[in-house]
Structure 1
Amino acid sequence: MECFSYFKNKSKHKGQRSAPELERKSDNSATTADRTTKSSCSATSPRGIPELYEEKAHNLRVFSFSELRQAANDFSRLLKIGEGGFGCVYKGSIKRVDRKGEPMQVAIKKLNRDGLQGHKQWIAEVQFLGVVEHANLVKLIGYCSEDSERGMQHLLVYEFMPNKSLEDHLFNKAYAALSWQTRLSILLGAAQGLAYLHEGLEVQVIHRDFKSSNVLLDEDFKPKLSDFGLAREGPTADRTHVSTAVVGTHGYAAPDYIETGHLTTKSDVWSFGVVLYEVLTGRRSLERNRPRTEQRLLEWVRQYPPDGKKFSLIIDPRLENQYSVSAARKIAKLADSCLLKSSKDRPKTSQVVHSLQEITQVSGAGDDASQAVDRSTELSENEPVDSELKPDQSGNSESWKRRMAHLVKLGEHGDSSSRKKFLIMQRTRVQ
């Protein structure tokens, strides 16, 4: 992976606790063409992330290793709430700044000490989360960078998110299924967080690892984007992209980024399109335990286009038909626009937000009515003609009665043989 511009403690005194200072690190392996496309401060963007960090670094608390070890009960396994290539995450409790009131619950990420890459990602997290501030981004409270008896320790302290991640609630059957409206609300909030990164700062920030596991949920299921270890500054006004080594998560990375290493905000938009389909279907982007034709989510949903008669077959069965088909179709169409092959043809994140706002408002205002209409339309489109003459096996006898009454009217104007057939069908009705 290409080196980031990152912060580095210039002083190596043991127990150093001052805020990390900025140091630009050159990448000798990069070509001249690559260097000209990398994000930098230009006339139209006078300040980059480093300058913004220097302005806001004082907002972060600096913890000692002993403080955080105590907060997480010596990093007890009982308090471990997550684990990844970077290390482990523990639930902890720290004193508030004013030392008043109840202790604050936090999530403490403790990086593995073996590996330079982990340190770079730690630096990137401090760098970006020390700058960004938005209701739909997880808040970084502080950090620890200390040379202890056990070696160099790098830790990050975040606000605690009690409802874990979107991934947990979509794919882990131990959690109750998310309702349709909650799913829409999560998608909208996540899109607003991305839009802020892409269009709400003095510089563009590309997340580069947007996925359902990095959408955390607070006590009210409000979404907050997390894990900025792979984030990058976007291109300046006179550039079209930044060139990087390809990193991220398989199944979420945009194909154009994989093929060229050219990174733009539209790379995040592609990833968002994948998550849109995950929310609709309740399926992961890649599931090896399914039949071959269903293992890759995007290939599978392509068989059921949004305007097709069989579209409802892809909807997450855990919703138990409690959703608006018309809204679901619009979500799928939005996902398809995010997943267009050419990055230039994909919508901007602010446009995605606007579309989701409209879908959410319409779905929330008339969900029951639209649902009933959509179901009847879906039924008439999908059922064969002879099934119209049978009662609904789910026990929907009222619908069957209405259809039979319609046939009675038709039979009144038909010949005797038609009436005879109708009477035979009525006598053989399955109760």
Structure 2
Amino acid sequence: MLVYEYMPKKSLDSSIFGAGEKLSWYVRRRIIEGIAQGILYIHEQSNMCVIHRDLKPSNILLDNEMNPKISDFGIARICTSNMTESNTTTVIGTIGYMAPEYFSHRTYSAKSDIFSFGVLVLEIISGKVAFGSYQIDGRSHDLRRYAWQLWKDEKCEELVDPSLSEENEGMDIIRCTQVALLCVQERAEDRPTMREVNVMLNSNNMTLSLPTKPGCHDTAPDTSGASQPTDMSITLPR
């Protein structure tokens, strides 16, 4: 039997995608920081390194003070201290949040969770779902590439949830967008560690690197050959 603490504010998806009252930027920022601290704990500060592998809004629960708690470790994996990455024969997770190397090559690591965290941050900033289709110049993009294109065009304000338009926090939102784009970069080695992410979120004077293009899932995993997956379970977001 698995017993959870009662979380009266439900899951994050109901707060950022629901029809009710929208969250202020102050609350969204606290949620971002809380998730980052939680991932840092399971990656580096607990007795063992845990890779969650399915970070998404429905797996972030909120208590009465809107503090986030990471939930649903059903497909999590434990990594030894000297293991930087590992492989699996079964791809399990949720489309829109999977790192490209995990989706295509079944390779997962702490950088896989960091990719998912970056997607989460983009959703929190925009109020848009990761797996949606968003138009720029007549072309459709998923949320990662939509945010990336707006970043390159210096139009980040178009990414921001309209409910935040009256809040004077534009520079902080842009900074968090940059952190998110660093997390969803295509190459795992280019993404920051969770410790670095926490420093970037809490050090406004720190100069951030410029992100490169985000990872994408344009092609399905190769299922030919003996070394390829024997099973695949990909969850479609609700």
Taking structure 2 as the reference length, the TM-score comes to 0.80
The answer to whether residue 114 in structure 2 is matched with residue 278 in structure 1 is no
Structure 1 distance, partners of 2:11, 2:203, is 25
Match of 2:64 in 1: 219
Pick aligned residue for 2:147 from 294, 298, 301: 301
Tell me the matched-pair count.
203
- Preserved CA contact (<8 Å) 1:235 1:242: no
Report the aligned-residue RMSD: 2.0
Task: Output the amino acid matched with 1:299.
Answer: R
Task: Tell me which residue corresponds to 2:22.
Answer: 177
Greater relative contact order (Cα 8 A, min sep 6): structure 1 or 2?
Answer: 2
Residue 241 (1) aligns with residue 80 (2): no
Distance 2:115 2:56 in 1: 10
Whole-angstrom CA distance in 1 between matches of 2:132 and 2:105: 26
Gaps in structure 1 of 5+ consecutive residues = 1-142, 144-155, 363-431
Superposed, 1:33-52 pairs within 5 Å as none
Contact (CA 8 Å) 1:246, 1:258: kept in 2 or not? yes
Structure with higher Rg: it is: 1
Post-superposition Cα deviations, 1:166-202, rounded to whole Å, max 9, x if no partner, equal 11111111x2110001000000001100000000123
Correspondence 1:252-263 to 2 at 5 A: 252-263=97-108
The amino acid that maps onto 1:158 is Y
In structure 2, the CA distance between the partners of 1:319 and 1:287, relative to structure 1 (3 Å rule), is same
SS of alignment partner, residue 145 of structure 2: helix
Helix, strand or coil at the partner of 1:248: strand
Determine what percentage of the aligned residue pairs are the same residue: 36
Runs of 4+ in 1 over 4 A off after TM superposition: none
State the 1:332 CA deviation: 1.2
Give the equivalent residue in structure 1 for 2:48: 203
Does the 8 A contact of 2:148 with 2:181 survive in 1? no
Q: Do 1:179 and 1:319's aligned partners in 2 also have CA atoms closer than 8 Å?
A: yes
Superposition TM-score, scaled by structure 1 size: 0.45
Higher mean displacement: 196-205 or 297-306: 297-306
1:265 corresponds in structure 2 to 110
Checking the alignment, whether the CA contact within 8 Å between 2:96 and 2:130 is kept in structure 1 is: yes
The one-character-per-residue Cα deviations of 1:32-85 (angstroms, maximum 9, x if unpaired) are xxxxxxxxxxxxxxxxxxxxxxxxxxxxxxxxxxxxxxxxxxxxxxxxxxxxxx
Q: Does 1:333 align with 2:178?
A: yes
- Per-residue CA deviation, residues 125-166 of structure 1 (Å, 9 max, x unaligned), is xxxxxxxxxxxxxxxxxx2xxxxxxxxxxxx22111000111
- Residue 340 of structure 1: SS of its match in structure 2? coil
- Say which SS state the counterpart of residue 101 (structure 2) adopts: helix
